[in-house]
Amino acid sequence: MPFTKSIDTSPTQTLNLTQNPLTSEQFQQFQSHLLESTFTPSSYSSNQFFVGSSINLFFDPRHPRQFKRPDWFGVVGVDKLYQGKNIRRSYVSWQESFNPFIVIEFLADETATEDLGQTPVGIDTIPTKWDVYEQFLRIPYYILFDPENNKLEAFHLVGSRYEQLEPTDQQRIWIPGLELGLGLWEGVYQGIERQWLRWSDVRGSWIEVPKNKQPISQPKSEQIQKRKLIDQQQKIGQKLRENLKNIGQKIDSI
């Protein structure tokens, strides 16, 4: 059975994403989809867990308007649909049976201090993500992934504080409550070859993406660029035809 060992170290700072072939938004979209597609906790049916990505997570009934937006989180023991019928547009912790079991943040320069709990907190400021996950929601597992450096850091709640977990030599951690491993898989996903976070089973095999999980659509910016290129090519073709007509050549002979 895979296992992890607790060590007493602090999280490190991240570098920026400027050298990454994907924008941070594109990476988050693809990575979140891969995590959701391979998240199959063996003790729960497909209708007994919920996965959220970049949705509001409300954490304090005393301040009901305060929320965080985790990059990705998983909750087990709850219906996939709220009250068995409604799609969740947010997750209100005090209206649910369980808090998230695991939360994952993708580190970037503009969010690192918040994710690492290094933002100075005053009397009137909202707690950092680290504080919310550790102190308010007491989420058992907190994962930080730096996609620029392909660095994985994992923390397990012990008592009232997070303690760092040491990944195996294969850069994986084992999560007993889910009967799943989480690690860095190097391969091609959505046409991009790089290291991705991916779930594995008890044997250490990477969990396959179900065939019914269709590839996600391209970001709108890419769709717009492709549309512009097609329009440009069509205009060039039309202009060529007009020029050929003007010099008396038949289009059919092209």
Q: What are phi and psi of 119, to 5 degrees?
A: -75, 130
- Claim to verify: residue 171 and residue 155 sit in the same structural domain: yes
- Claim to verify: residue 194 and residue 227 sit in the same structural domain: no
- Claim to verify: residue 222 and residue 210 sit in the same structural domain: no
- Claim to verify: residue 237 and residue 182 sit in the same structural domain: no
Number of domains in the chain: 2
- Claim to verify: residue 143 and residue 230 sit in the same structural domain: no
- Claim to verify: residue 157 and residue 61 sit in the same structural domain: yes
Q: Looking only at Cα atoms, what is the longest distance across the chain?
A: 86
Q: Please provide the average confidence, as pLDDT, over all residues in the chain.
A: 82
The whole-number pLDDT of residue 230 equals 46
- Claim to verify: residue 72 and residue 122 sit in the same structural domain: yes
The strand order across the sheet containing 49-52 reads 5-7, 161-166, 151-158, 141-146, 102-106, 72-76, 49-52
Residues 93-128 pLDDT 10s: 999 999 999 999 999 888 888 888 887 766 667 899
The whole-number pLDDT of residue 239 equals 66
Give every CB contact of residue 159 below 8 A, 6+ residues apart in sequence: none
- Claim to verify: residue 14 and residue 85 sit in the same structural domain: yes
Beta strands in the chain (DSSP E): 5-7, 49-52, 56-58, 67-68, 72-76, 90-92, 102-106, 141-146, 151-158, 161-166, 172-175, 180-189, 192-200
The whole-number pLDDT of residue 123 equals 61
Residues 224-240 pLDDT 10s: 454 555 456 555 556 65
- Claim to verify: residue 104 and residue 195 sit in the same structural domain: yes
The whole-number pLDDT of residue 20 equals 52
Element (H, E) at 147: none
The whole-number pLDDT of residue 168 equals 83
Residues 133-171 pLDDT 10s: 999 999 999 999 999 999 999 999 999 999 999 888 778
Residues 9-62 pLDDT 10s: 333 333 333 345 678 889 999 999 999 999 999 999 989 999 999 999 999 999
The whole-number pLDDT of residue 100 equals 98
The whole-number pLDDT of residue 34 equals 97
The whole-number pLDDT of residue 75 equals 97
Element (H, E) at 174: strand 172-175
Average pLDDT over every residue of 166-194: 92
Q: What are the beta bridge partners of residue 67?
A: 58
- Claim to verify: residue 155 and residue 85 sit in the same structural domain: yes
- Claim to verify: residue 116 and residue 205 sit in the same structural domain: yes
**How far, in Å, CA of 103 to CA of 72, rounded?**
6
Domain extent for 229: 218-254
Pick from 135, 116, 139, 155: nearest CA to 14? 116
Element (H, E) at 245: helix 220-246
- Claim to verify: residue 25 and residue 58 sit in the same structural domain: yes
